[in-house]
Structure 1
Amino acid sequence: MKFYLCIDDTDNLDSIGTGTIAEQILEKIIEKGFGPCSLVTRHQLFIHPDIPYTSHNSSMCFYGEAPDHSLSTIIDLASHHLDTVAAEGSDPGLCVLKFDTASDYSGLISFGKAAKKTVLTKADAIACAEEHQLHLSEHGGTGQGIIGALAGVGLRLFGSDGEIKGALKYIEINRPYQVHELIEFPEVDVVLDLDSKEALSPMTSINMGARSKTVMYQNQSVLFAIKSDDGHFESLTKPKIRQLGESFYV
């Protein structure tokens, strides 16, 4: 089976982040002999005074493969880890979906998109989870994190939302790479021109002048590059990526 797993609202200002906890859960799943699993994606949700969050209101999601009979094991493993490490004062939520190619997930995807633009309630999340017959559970506090956890799964299913957690780990900064070299890194599926959204040729040189990130776009982990005034391509910094806006990925 293929499964999606997302967590939200597990931290406070002094604790490890939700992304780190997601990676810990992923590692435990691998240790059980399941997998492979994808990289973790960060999904930015709505910022509003009525929504409690630690710093950025983002959820963390990944998907993986495992035997059909292992779903309950994965849920128990993730639940136990959340119960153990979630920070004091947090409101953790967990969502796990067993993916079915024959199912229609348009309602779940719509929920994820709505969570980026409006205030949703726990009742909204529970109703959506029941409709799609997936696991959704609270793990402390108010349990408000179930909203973001469900939204993160919907957005990862959508396939054009979210940053890959962390910068490109093994890239040397302030040096050029050709595209064929960049796609050898595990975080990079394809390198696209920011303006045209078309793939750059394998021999195109990209100046990696700063720590950059890849983003999910059309179900691929994409490194966007922009042509500078001197005609050379360079990678985008994290702040520039976050300035692109939701409409860019549609």
Structure 2
Amino acid sequence: MKSWLICIDDTDDIGTKGTGEIAQEIAEILSDGEHESSSFITRHQLYVHPDIPYTSHNSAMCFQLQTYKSLETIKQLTVAHLLEQSAAASDPGLAILDCDSEFDREALIRFGLEAKEQVKTKQDAYDLALRLGICLSEHGGTGQGVIGALAGIGLRLYGRDGRVKGQVDLGQELYEEGVELTVKEALTRSGLDIVVDLSGQQLKITEVLHLTRKVKAVYCQHQFALLVYRHEGRWCNALKRQLKEY
């Protein structure tokens, strides 16, 4: 079984199925075999600039896959779903990285970080993918999504970027007044790896959390983390503005 990172970008349009939802569907398709699995999907925010076309936020979606499938099969299944589900006006891009291969990790991370702060071109992306042996392809429109797809993989490798798609599933509804769980209970219910505060400090499993409304997770320290902050003497799940740091 091999490990892969798969990232897609620019598959949607206003009023259509979001890129995150499409990524989730692809992850489920690719991990359908016995013992195969996919990780949480991370959303990576890229540079917002007038020279960069995007639908609403300019973000890429990435996940890790454990599978017996070959690169050819992974690409075939993913492309088929992209062509079927991507919006007509979108510019889909796909990047697939064999995590067990030899590649310049730092160069890929650097591309991802730069894509958060400056305008990159398709040629930049293709040149780097060719040099590193990464499968990079476009599937409609201008194909501009290849930039974000490659950058998303670099940011996932960086290990300190990205918000986890969707809300954290704690197995019960959270009411306005909230619920209290220990760190251990929250991790067991959610499948997350750690709970960290805004400074990145990991909480002990015995700490008590006060969780309300939409509970979100981030990718931090190369792990899926519940982000919390101290408020009125209690550990509370992070607010939207705090999550934007990721």
* TM-score, normalised relative to structure 2: 0.93
Q: Which moved more, 1:170-179 or 1:146-155?
A: 170-179
Structure-to-structure mapping, 1:7-22, within 5 angstroms: 7-22=8-23
Contact 1:211–1:237 under 8 Å retained in 2: no
Q: Deviations over 1:65-112 (max 9, x none)?
A: 123x61110011001111111101000001111113643311111111
CA RMSD of aligned residues (A): 1.5
1:189 to 186, 193, 197: 193
Indicate how the Cα distance of structure 1 residues 28 and 19 shifts in structure 2: closer, same or farther if over 3 A, else same: same
Residue 191 of structure 1: how far off its partner (Å):
0.9
Residue number in structure 2 paired with 1:220:
223
Q: Which residue in the other structure is 1:206 paired with?
A: 209
Aligned residue runs from structure 1 range 24-173, under 5 A: 24-33=25-34, 35-67=36-68, 70-100=70-100, 102-170=102-170, 171-173=172-174
8 Å Cα contact 1:191-1:223 kept in structure 2 = yes
TM-score of the superposed pair, with normalisation by structure 1: 0.92
1:39–1:177: structure 2 CA closer, same or farther, 3 Å change rule? Answer: same
Structure 1 residues 183 and 2: CA distance shift in structure 2, 3 A: same
Distance 2:238 2:129 in 1: 36
Where 1:63 maps in the other structure, the secondary structure is strand
Report how far residue 32 of structure 1 moved.
4.4
Residue by residue over 1:117-158, the C-alpha shift from the partner in whole angstroms, topping out at 9 and shown as x without a partner, is 000000000001001111111100000000000000111111
Contact 2:31–2:66 under 8 Å retained in 1: no
In 2, Cα distance between equivalents of 1:201 and 1:116: 33
| Shift in alpha-carbon separation, 1:103–1:136, aligned structure 2, 3 A | closer
**Residue in 1 that maps onto 2:236:** 234
Greater alpha carbon shift after TM alignment, 92-101 vs 42-51: 92-101
For the residues of structure 2 that align with 1:92 and 1:102, how far apart are their CA atoms?
26
List structure 1 runs of 4+ shifted beyond 3 angstroms: none
Distance 2:32 2:237 in 1: 35
Q: How far 1:64 sits from its partner (Å)?
A: 1.1
CA distance in 2, matches of 1:187, 1:122: 36
State the AA in 2 paired with 1:92: P
**Counterparts of 2:160 and 2:189 in 1: how far apart (Å)?**
20
Quote the Cα distance in structure 2 between the aligned partners of 1:22 and 1:211.
21
| Letter aligned with residue 14 of structure 1 | G
Output one character per residue of 1:153-194: Cα deviation in whole Å (capped at 9) or x when no partner. Answer: 111111111011001123542111111101113442111122
Change (3 A) 1:223 1:207: same
Aligned residues: 241
Unaligned runs of 5+ in 2: none
